[in-house]
Amino acid sequence: MSGLNCYVVSYDIREQKRLYRVHRAMMGFGEPVHYSVFRCDLTLKGKVEMVAALENLIVADEDRIMIIDLGPNDGKVEERIEFIGIHAQHMELLC
């Protein structure tokens, strides 16, 4: 086991400058898969670092970030993800 968990991170940031800063920070933790949605393979320490970085960038009573833990990156993550509609070119980013 790699010690990595797969996380889907989605955010809704009200102010454009903060949105850009959050997006730039997220690029250091994972890969964008959709507008304001990232897939991140992180250790527990990496997740803690990501959360701390994001908390420093947002305004808590205006912005929202959702973090979904898809569990261990054990080759079965793709079984826990379902798409409807066009997705073939994006599937490899989520698996």
Q: Supply the range of the domain harboring residue 25.
A: 5-75
Looking at the domain assignment, is residue 61 inside a domain?
Answer: yes
Residue pLDDT, tens place only, 29-85: 999 988 899 999 999 999 999 999 999 999 999 999 999 999 998 877 777 777 788
Looking at the domain assignment, is residue 13 inside a domain?
Answer: yes
Looking at the domain assignment, is residue 88 inside a domain?
Answer: no
Burial of 58 (0-12, 13-18, 19+ CB in 10 A): buried
Helices (H), the chain: 16-27, 44-57, 88-94
Total of domains in the chain: 1
In angstroms, the Cα distances linking 24 to 15, 53, 57, 69, 89 are 14, 11, 11, 21, 23
Looking at the domain assignment, is residue 65 inside a domain?
Answer: yes
Q: pLDDT value at position 13? A: 97
Looking at the domain assignment, is residue 87 inside a domain?
Answer: no
Looking at the domain assignment, is residue 9 inside a domain?
Answer: yes
